[in-house]
Amino acid sequence: MKKDFKILAIETSCDETSASIVVNGRTCLSNIVSSQIDIHTRFGGVVPEVASRNHITAIDNVVKLALKKANFTFRDIDAIAVTYGAGLVGSLLVGVSYAKAVSYALNIPLIAVNHIYGHIAGNYLSFPDLVPPFICLVVSGGHTAIIEVKDFNHHKIIGSTLDDAVGESFDKVARVLGLGYPGGPKVDALAKKGKNIIQFAKPNDNLGYNFSFSGKKTAVINYVHKLEQAEKPIPKEDICLSFERWVVDELCQKSIDACKSLGYDKIVVAGGVSANSALRESLYSECEQNKIKCFFPDFQFCTDNAAMIGSAAYYAYLDGVGIADVSLSPNPSLSL
Ligand code: KG4
Ligand code: ZN
């Protein structure tokens, strides 16, 4: 292995077109993210066909900007990494095709990365000394899980959602309140002005380390619909905070229980919902009380970005996993 291993990483699994240059899995020289939020906002969510068409328009410029910002040309990179799942098939296809073409043209290795392993690796960029083993709480728009990260490439699922992902439930609550897309940051902001006074009809579940967010989302929707039918005002701020506290308390309690019972001393949070301010505040403070070290990625590495893919790719390459070739296809339902 060369002294400095420089990876060009590409991420197009949903509605962000992103490219990044990452050195030795830990140093991010550039991380360009072209968001399509403005385009999808008017539809209230991501429209897959529209997303893939916009990736096609954006990708070449995004890659060139990432190279330029790092002061690189294509000739300076040692490998190309790409997210090949999970995600929207048409969106993944754009990144995968682009990466295959670059790998073939430059005759450099192609590294296929699982999007969720990428989210976990966002923390390796934020904390240069962080190494497994640890417990990871994955909270994104498509996944929610507690994972035992035994090594860079060995993960074991301890618990996961049985229905909706936590980010998805934030988005759906935002939608019923008319807050727009993506909903998580909007619920987060409004919750800061609210009071935690609403007792939603709580499903009586005993799920161990698993989660269920569909019932919580439905409880909020039913609460709002009842007020609408009675033509009463909707206390949006209180609804946001009461829902957020309900979700955050469960995420904190289960990840701390898992960490303690499995004998770990670190909890690492990954995925878009790691940007949530209530989750950050509560988990930091509860971990401190339990003598557990707690890690949240820098904000730029919370939601989808290519730098996290470049970091995960480096550790995959070191262990000889994920090495792909021109036969690589996207896997929209790739599991953890
Ligand atoms: O990880 P991510 O960027 O994409 C997926 O891999 O799914 O996560 C996006 C999710 C969305 O559901 C979004 O609403 C949520 O992360 N999110 C938040 C916050 N920022 C993003 N949820 C709650 N609070 C936030 N501040
Ligand atoms: Zn993601």
Q: What is the pLDDT of residues 223-240, one digit of tens each?
A: 999 999 999 999 999 999
| Low-confidence winner among 48-52, 78-82, 83-87, 174-178 (lowest mean pLDDT) | 48-52
CA distance to 49, 170, 171, 284, per residue, from 164 (Å): 22, 10, 11, 25
Q: What pLDDT, in 10s, does the model give residues 108-136?
A: 999 999 999 999 999 999 999 999 999 99
297 lines ligand 1 (CB under 6 A): no
Instruction: Out of 138, 170, 181, give the residue to mutate to test ligand 1, the one with the largest number of ligand atoms within 8 Å of its CB.
Output: 170
What per-residue confidence (pLDDT) applies to 229? Answer: 96
Question: For the chain, where are the alpha helices, taking DSSP H only?
Answer: 37-41, 48-69, 89-106, 115-126, 166-176, 183-191, 214-229, 236-261, 277-289, 307-318
32 phi, psi to nearest 5 deg: -90, 125
- Which residue, judged by its Cα, is nearest atom 2 of ligand 1? 272
Q: pLDDT confidence of 204, banded at 50, 70, 90?
A: low
pTM, rounded to two decimals: 0.96
Give the confidence band of 169 by pLDDT, cuts at 50, 70, 90. Answer: very high
Distance CA 209, CA 206 (A): 9
pLDDT at 2: 65
Domains in the chain and their CATH numbers? 6-125+301-324 (3.30.420.40), 132-297 (3.30.420.40)
To the nearest 10°, report the CA torsion of 45, 183, 117, 3: 100
Best probe residue, ligand 1, of 244, 247, 251, 273 (max atoms within 8 Å of C-beta):
273
pLDDT tens profile 234-271: 999 999 999 999 999 999 999 999 999 999 999 999 99
Average pLDDT, the chain: 96
Residue 301 has pLDDT above 80, yes or no: yes
pLDDT, average across residues 47-74: 96
- Span from the CA of 50 to the centroid of ligand 2 (angstroms): 18
Closest ligand 1 atom to Cα of 143: 7
CA angle 165, 97, 305 (to 5 degrees): 40
Pocket-testing residue among 41, 169, 173, 303, ligand 1, by greatest number of atoms within 8 A of Cβ: 303
